[in-house]
Amino acid sequence: MSDNKEITKKSFFSAGFLIAMSWFATHCGAGFATGNQEVNYFVKYGWVAIFLPIIAMLLLGWAHRNALVIAKDNNAYDYKSYTNALFHPYEKYMGPIVELLFLGFLGTGVCTSIAGAASLLETWGITYYLGLVIVGIVLLLLTAFGSGLVIKALNFKAYFIITALIIVVILGISQGAPNIGHLVSTKANFGPGFGAALWSTIVYAGFQSVTIFAIVSISESIRTTKECNKFFQVGVTVNGIFLLAVVIMLLGYSPEVLKETLPVHYVCTQLGIPWLLILYSLILFIALLGTGVAVVFSAVARFEKLAFWDNSSEIFKDMRIRRGTISFITIAICVLPPILSTRLGNIL
């Protein structure tokens, strides 16, 4: 009996499952946690928002699943190798384009995560600059020891956010249920028609597909197409359920919530439960931190295999030192914009 339980446990928490939960953690960044993405891509179109997130996640999940198959078949576990495999035999043309696009994504993604998390720590009584240092150190420690630790960190984020979102969503939907029922029964529309809403759904799936680079970088444990399919099933289910749940909750506070810069925070204030605002702050902080971890490690996976390291000092033969160095340089570069923007603001 115990052997059967152990086999079931190993099967359930397979590579496909763990990477799928890491995808949810990467997808659930600041835009997701604040509710801005849900409002701008779904809720503002009215009652049709109750099914559009599922379409988006099916498209996005299939793209990620196929990316993992390509990575597995070509042993391409960094975005450069993956791009070469994806665009072969035209990789010499597409490779530099994707490289530039990714570096832009890396800079904006990590910079936003670090600055946002530091700003949030500032509201907890920690100075902004100390917050930058704290967040930078945490990102460094979580990305310098390989994909195994990154997966564990992202899965912790996923489980925490799932638990916290369940609480927020249940409370939010229970109070907004009458308005949700009214909007659906009257087929209320806050903006353009269904065509525009469907296009917005496709755009959402398109820009979120950039997370493929982060997921490919931690997917070396996936060895079979069956695991890729497991990833698709779990990933679409988890991402779809929670994206849809937040959308439905925000729909219950529409159209007023459409004008808010922090829609989920607005819902928490409407509920009038003080501890819920604390929980929301933790959700946002961990969401910001997790996205930073995933994106920084994408850079680590890309640059750790460069021949430069083999021809440099003997100390860089140690993969932990090499990864730590890449992570430190990436974080340091991405910390500069928040520091400079703050200093310029003080000068002006």
The amino acid that residue 113 corresponds to is S
8 inside domain: no
What distance in Å separates the CA atoms of residue 253 and residue 267, rounded to the nearest whole number? 7
Number of domains composing the chain: 1
How far CA 176 is from CA of 27, 93, 167, 173, 343, in Å, comes to 25, 51, 14, 5, 43
The domain that contains 97 carries what CATH number?
Answer: 1.10.4160.10
pLDDT of residue 4: 36
pLDDT of residue 119: 85
Residue 47: which of 194, 195, 174 has the closest Cα? 194
pLDDT of residue 120: 86
Contact indicator for 152, 339 with CB cutoff of 8 Å: no
Full pLDDT tens readout for the chain, 348 residues: 333 343 334 555 688 999 999 999 989 888 888 899 999 999 999 999 999 999 999 999 999 999 999 999 999 988 888 999 989 888 888 888 888 888 887 888 888 888 888 888 888 889 988 998 999 999 999 988 888 889 899 999 899 999 999 999 999 999 999 999 999 999 888 877 889 999 999 999 998 998 898 899 999 899 999 999 999 999 999 999 999 999 999 999 998 999 988 899 999 999 989 999 899 989 999 988 888 898 888 888 888 877 677 777 778 778 888 889 999 999 988 887 767 665 444 433
14 inside domain: no
167 inside domain: yes
3-state secondary structure of 313: coil
pLDDT of residue 8: 37
76 inside domain: yes
What distance in Å separates the CA atoms of residue 252 and residue 181, rounded to the nearest whole number? 8
239 inside domain: yes
pLDDT of residue 13: 66
Half-sphere exposure of 239 (CA within 13 A, CB side): 33
pLDDT of residue 178: 93
Burial 226-237 (b: 16+ CB within 10 A, else e): ebbebbbebbbe
pLDDT of residue 5: 41
Residue that has been written with the tokens 């971890």 in this structure: 293
Helix ranges (H only) for the chain are 2-12, 15-27, 30-34, 36-41, 52-74, 79-87, 91-123, 128-143, 147-185, 194-208, 211-217, 225-251, 263-271, 274-303, 307-310, 319-347
333 inside domain: yes
273 inside domain: yes
User: Tokens at residue 213, please?
Assistant: 């680079």
Domain ranges, residue 240:
20-341
Question: CA angle 200-82-159, nearest 5°?
Answer: 60
181 inside domain: yes
